[in-house]
Amino acid sequence: MKRFLAVFLGTPASLDAWKALPEDERNRREQDGMAAWGDWVKKHEKAIVDHGSPLGKTKRIDARGISDIRNELAAWTVVGADSHDAAARMFEGHPHFSIFPGDAVEVMECLPMPEAPKE
């Protein structure tokens, strides 16, 4: 079985729209979304390798130094599947973008690490 990293994405505009909702609407959608997410986890529990977590603020490090940035990365999880398509299908209709303000889920295979040359 192959492993796949699923990255949950949300644009800053989607998050801003979420924050603009009335508080009672946000609370209702959050409760509905967490219940739906729990249902998704139960449905795919045998395939979930690592539940992952939400992601916080980002620091970018490059040749110029360290800076604060805002990107679209919201959360991650790792699943096992026989194929890339099978892994991707697990996320169709996911509550991340059907209830919450998320925009997409990107799924990519976790490839084996190349071995270092032996001396």
> Is there a domain that residue 118 lies in?
no
Return the pLDDT at 102: 87
Q: Which domain holds residue 77?
A: 2-61+68-109
pTM of the model: 0.86
Return the pLDDT at 110: 98
> Is there a domain that residue 10 lies in?
yes
**Intervals of the chain under pLDDT 50:** none
What gap in Å lies between CA 25 and CA 77, rounded to an integer? 27
CATH number of 74's domain: 3.30.70.1060
Percent of the chain with pLDDT strictly greater than 90 = 76
Q: Which residue has 């529990």 as its token pair?
A: 45
- The structure tokens listed for 117 are 């040359």
Return the pLDDT at 59: 97
> Is there a domain that residue 49 lies in?
yes
20 alpha carbon, distance to own chain's centre: 22
**C-beta neighbour count of 119 within 10 angstroms:** 3
Return the pLDDT at 40: 95
Count of the separate structural domains present in the chain: 1
